[in-house]
Structure 1
Amino acid sequence: MEEIGVVIPHEIKAVPSARASQLRPPRITYARHYTFGVACSLIPVPVSPVPIATATRIQDSLTGMNSSDLLEEIKESDLYLRLKKLQRHVELLELQEEYIKDEQKNLKRELVRAQEEVKRIQSVPLVLGQFLEVIDRDTGIVGSTTGSNSVVRILSTIDRELLKPNTSVALHRHSNALVDILPPEADSSIALLGADEKPDVSYADIGGLDIQKQEIREAVELPLTHFDLYRQIGIDPPRGVLLYGPPGTGKTMLVKAVAHHTTASFIRVVGSEFVQKYLGEGPRMVRDTFRMARENAPSIIFIDEIDAIATKRFDAQTGADREVQRILLELLNQMDGFDQTVNIKVIMATNRADTLDPALLRPGRLDRKIEFPTPDRRQKRLIFSAITAKMNLSEEVDLEDFVSRPDKLSGAEIAAICQEAGMHAVRKNRYVILSKDLEKGYRANVKKTDTDFEFYK
């Protein structure tokens, strides 16, 4: 018969302690190895310490206890110890959680204080500057509007990737610290006309100028809408168009029609806007204009009164003249420089084409030059018909009488004649324009030219 052995503790002592829940490290106690009918020598067996109540209960129940009951009792004591250990671990985690929550509250308060400090710094009047160069992560070189360069500190909240040369920045009024980065269009007077801001002028509203309409549409609209035609033929479309002629012949009006009929972005500037107070501002505005055009391509740039900055170069004696020549050089570089695009068209208008610099007039920059002469008899008839189409004229009015007169009239003067005739009708409380109203308007505009504006001739 096979013997079954079991280890029965010979002596189990309660662990003395001030608190029942605190235990000493495990110790070695001796147990006798019993078999059924055979007693063996003492064998050292490690026994985990147990609480006093458990030890007493086990010691009291040893008498008359079989081996299976004893094993169950020992297992229960081990589970109790594991439970107490897990409870202590949970208490430790709860303490750590409370500590982390307190730290989170403190960090939030510090973040709010830092944000308030940044707002306070940015709330004072700031100075406009231009970023020039990075020294390290915390400092850089900026140029202020006063013309001087300064080494300044950079606010820690500034995105360093946005700090590029010639970027517009805001400087603190007292310390000149860089506190904000301005968008490219913040300090620029260059504006992009939106879809709802484009002029409501169509080609039908412009009387005459049939040849000029065809030439400008071929040079501006067709390359933007049907560029494949030029590619198949193997030629490059015109990059720039110059509109020149006497005042009031319809140059700006025709450009308005181009802006109305095309879907390309339209940028309008006047040549005198490039002349700024501080050195370098004018060339920077030219760069900003073409940068905006490239970002919103396809686009059209219209520079009116180009003779303000594009006159023939000479040996300048003053700083203002040299600055104007630098603006012209920047314009020449942007129109036909190293970086150029085919989906940007430049239209320029002037009354004095004879004063423009030859470098601007050469092919490659202004490929097409469109003249706007004084209207002939046929053109005057078309202009009169286009302007009076929306006017309430009397049946007695004969426009051919005014068309056949030998006086040289521009389109603006014809529009002024019709407007003055309407004002005379309003003055007389009439809703119909009579022939005598047009006659008074004609004398008020045409006859005055011979006497008051003789210095123009």
Structure 2
Amino acid sequence: MKPTAFADELPKGIQRSRSLPDPALGALWDSIVLDERIKKQLLSQAVLNFTMRPKVDRSVIPLHGVILLVGPPGTGKTSLARGLAHRTAQAFPRSGFRLLEVEPHTLTSSAMGKTQRAVSELFSQSIAEAAALGPTVVLLDEVETLAADRSKMSLEANPVDIHRATDAVLVQLDLLAERFSNLLFLATSNFPEAVDSAFTSRCDLVLQVPLPDREACRRILSDCLTGLAKTYPAIGRLVDGSTIARAAEECVGLDGRAIRKTVANALAVDPETAMDPSRLSLEAIVFSARAAKTSRVGGLSRK
């Protein structure tokens, strides 16, 4: 019989299961423009999980096999985590790595006790079964959904069940850390202040994924324009233009996703450019970047 983690119908809470390495995920890793020192630290921590944990007792180095990526929305945390899973598997050829992606929102329920049971079953059965078969990386996106800060919960929102769900996550992390040294959790959060402190205390590394600085903005713009030039060769002229520095300066303060959307907005600056994207100009990108920052500031001020 096929184990649950590999069944044709994925168990509740598992959105996707895939074998590693996966070149498509490698492309995600390369697409995230981030200080190489940060990427190196991240990859090194993930590799250490699979080299040292099987050999060193947890009483010496209490690794839980959990890495938490935090930062503003759009900075590429989820893509970075998926890419990290690929790069980690690459470091261990022929080891049979697998990536499980958890969908936390399918586990929550307004019915008393159901969320706690769903969380416990996910960790103790589905994830445990996968880890029993070989090296496993688990992506916990929006981890605050599963490990909410219990000290900040509203008394009007069924706090007992939410408390118990967070308790279940913590208990299962401890149990899995004891049983499986070939298991690594990659968690992400846009709101680290909403994550329970007991969860973050179990993380082997909490890494801040920052907004791109000026040079990173330039690299993101260059990558985006170079990609467009494969379809519209005339756009390639913008990559080498000296004014790209001005466009990058205008993008400072935006996240990577917003910068790429800024280019899309610039392509729609007028009907002529929309009909013929080869007409794209850096001036249009500068205009769109300014508009994007203005709309974001305005949106925040209205909240």
What TM-score do you get using the length of structure 1 for normalisation?
0.52
For residues 185 and 156 of structure 2, the distance between their equivalents in structure 1, rounded to whole angstroms, comes to 30
For residues 316 and 452 of structure 1, the distance between their equivalents in structure 2, rounded to whole angstroms, comes to 26
Encode CA deviations 1:84-118: one digit per residue, 9 max, x unaligned. xxxxxxxxxxxxxxxxxxxxxxxxxxxxxxxxxxx
Q: Does 1:324 align with 2:176?
A: no
Alignment map for 1:279-428 (pairs within 5 Å): 279-290=112-123, 291-297=125-131, 298-314=135-151, 317=155, 320-337=158-175, 339-362=178-201, 365-392=202-229, 393-396=235-238, 397=241, 398-405=243-250, 407-424=252-269, 427-428=274-275
2:276 aligns with: 429
1:188 aligns with: 12
Quote the offset at 1:320 in angstroms: 2.2
| Larger radius of gyration between Structure 1 and Structure 2 | 1
2:87 aligns with: 261
Encode CA deviations 1:297-342: one digit per residue, 9 max, x unaligned. 2111111112223233248745722111111011000111385311
For residues 175 and 197 of structure 2, the distance between their equivalents in structure 1, rounded to whole angstroms, comes to 16
Residue 108 of structure 2 is aligned with which of 272, 275, 279?
Answer: 275
% of aligned pairs identical? Answer: 20
| Equivalent position SS for 1:276 | coil
**Closer, same or farther: CA 230–409 of 1 in aligned 2, 3 Å:** farther
Residue 218 of structure 1 is aligned with which of 44, 49, 63?
Answer: 44
Give the number of the structure whose residues are more often helix, by fraction. Answer: 2
| Equivalent position SS for 2:254 | coil
**Closer, same or farther: CA 283–259 of 1 in aligned 2, 3 Å:** same
| Equivalent position SS for 2:185 | strand
Alignment map for 1:7-406 (pairs within 5 Å): 188-195=12-19, 199-200=24-25, 201-224=27-50, 226-227=51-52, 231=56, 235=61, 237=63, 239-263=65-89, 264-290=97-123, 291-297=125-131, 298-314=135-151, 317=155, 320-337=158-175, 339-362=178-201, 365-392=202-229, 393-396=235-238, 397=241, 398-405=243-250
What TM-score do you get using the length of structure 2 for normalisation?
0.75
Encode CA deviations 1:188-239: one digit per residue, 9 max, x unaligned. 2424422499654342211124233122212224433x4489759x756551
| Equivalent position SS for 2:187 | strand
| Equivalent position SS for 2:206 | strand
Instruction: Confirm or deny: 8 A CA contact 1:394 1:432 kept in the other structure.
Output: no
For residues 283 and 427 of structure 1, the distance between their equivalents in structure 2, rounded to whole angstroms, comes to 50
Quote the offset at 1:395 in angstroms: 2.1
Equivalent pairs counted in the alignment come to 271
Encode CA deviations 1:348-398: one digit per residue, 9 max, x unaligned. 111221232221121xx2121001222222222232233333122252543
2:298 aligns with: 451
For residues 318 and 447 of structure 1, the distance between their equivalents in structure 2, rounded to whole angstroms, comes to 36
Q: CA RMSD in A?
A: 3.3
Instruction: Confirm or deny: 8 A CA contact 2:17 2:100 kept in the other structure.
Output: yes
Instruction: Confirm or deny: 8 A CA contact 2:67 2:204 kept in the other structure.
Output: yes
For residues 254 and 290 of structure 2, the distance between their equivalents in structure 1, rounded to whole angstroms, comes to 12
2:4 aligns with: none
| Equivalent position SS for 1:330 | helix
Encode CA deviations 1:111-140: one digit per residue, 9 max, x unaligned. xxxxxxxxxxxxxxxxxxxxxxxxxxxxxx
For residues 164 and 273 of structure 2, the distance between their equivalents in structure 1, rounded to whole angstroms, comes to 52
Quote the offset at 1:247 in angstroms: 1.6
- Residue segments in structure 2 that go unaligned for 5+ positions in a row: 1-6, 90-96, 230-234
**Closer, same or farther: CA 231–302 of 1 in aligned 2, 3 Å:** same
Structure with the larger RCO, 1 or 2 (CA within 8 Å, 6+ apart): 2
Amino acid at match of 2:104: G
| Equivalent position SS for 1:453 | helix
For residues 316 and 446 of structure 1, the distance between their equivalents in structure 2, rounded to whole angstroms, comes to 33
**Closer, same or farther: CA 287–194 of 1 in aligned 2, 3 Å:** same
Give the number of the structure whose residues are more often strand, by fraction. Answer: 1
1:442 aligns with: 289
